Amino acid sequence: MNAFGIWQAYYQEHLLAGCSSDQIVWIGSVQLFLVSIGASVVGPLFDMYGARSLEISGIILHFLALILTSLSREYYQILLAHGILFGIASCLVYFPALTAVSQTLGRHTGLALGCMYAGATVGGIFWTEIWRLMLIRMGFAWAMRTAAFISLGFLLPGSYLVTSQCTDKQKQTLTLSLNEFVSCAKDAPYILIAVGTMVANWGLTLPTFFLVLFGRDSGMSEGDADRLMTWLNLGSLTGLPITGALADKLGRFNLMSFSALTCGLLVIVTFRVDSTMKASTSTPMVWNSEMKRDELVPVTKFYFPVHGASDQRVIRGIAQFLDNIGLSNFGHNYESTVEHY
């Protein structure tokens, strides 16, 4: 998902050339929306049943989504396979691993999540480069099938490494109740934080989805434009652990406020630069390392200790939903809340 920009560009210029960019962006937007809104269900299920069944289910759906995408030629087929099915699969794979990290590490959660996401950006770099090579040599269909098997090889070992910290006795006391969602929704300060972050992220999604197309429209070659996603993820690779550690020391909200202001300026600058070189190097790297995940991830930690355990189990899910109203956000902003489950 860190490299969706290259799929956006490929769909728009080749496979779905008859569709507008507004239509194609729904594929990635629905995918990310489902990843985020699913947290409200996957989080409690993780506490009640552990990670193994969720991970295995997600891996199977993930594999099927890529295989079905390779067989798709129409817009609605790709939306169903690469958008909806892939989004559900990613949620089942992503959140158990995230929750396991947050449950295990306490006061160093920011650093831990930063390191975890730094690993995810390695995947973004890998898929950006390998996708281009496979597409040239194999074509779309076999490139997607090969990607499915590569993903399967990475995900299967990982499913056995993710474990839950909840004991069997604790799992028996856990339930999934609508009242928990309602009580969180009545918390005004929390809702203001969620809505504020949602607004901030509206401006951050556009560069991620359209950076490759922006590069091509600016006169870059197809290969150089595709590598913008590599630069974007490379910025995260260095920025995530550093800013995660700073968030633990300087305060989540302080760092988030600074990053929101900085990234707002950078996003404006990105689409106003006249120099292709500037658009392809410094701005994407700084933008991504500043704001993509790490500072926003732990920001709500300063507020959550006032809640009961049952409320905290659904806080992240509601936050993810609010963060994705409009189907336009990454939905990675509230992951550290699971450390309070």
Domains and CATH numbers, the chain: 4-169+179-340 (1.20.1250.20)
Read off the pLDDT of each residue in 318-339 and give the average, rounded to a whole number.
40
Range with the poorest average pLDDT among 9-13, 83-87, 152-156 = 9-13
pTM over 0.85? The answer is no
Angstrom distance (rounded) from CA 283 to CA 162: 35
On whether the CB atoms of residues 340 and 312 are closer than 8 A, the answer is: yes
pLDDT in tens, 139-153: 999 999 999 999 999
58 versus 311: the higher-pLDDT residue is: 58
Question: Amino acid letter at 17?
Answer: A
Range with the poorest average pLDDT among 54-68, 193-207, 216-230, 291-305 = 291-305
pLDDT in tens, 41-66: 887 788 788 888 899 999 999 999 99
Q: Residue 308 carries which DSSP code? A: -
Angstrom distance (rounded) from CA 126 to CA 124: 5
Q: Residue 237 carries which DSSP code? A: H
Q: What is the pLDDT of residue 341?
A: 35
Angstrom distance (rounded) from CA 159 to CA 152: 10
- Provide the token pair at 276: 């292709």
Radius of gyration of the chain (CA): 19
Work out the percent of the chain whose per-residue pLDDT is above 70. Answer: 70
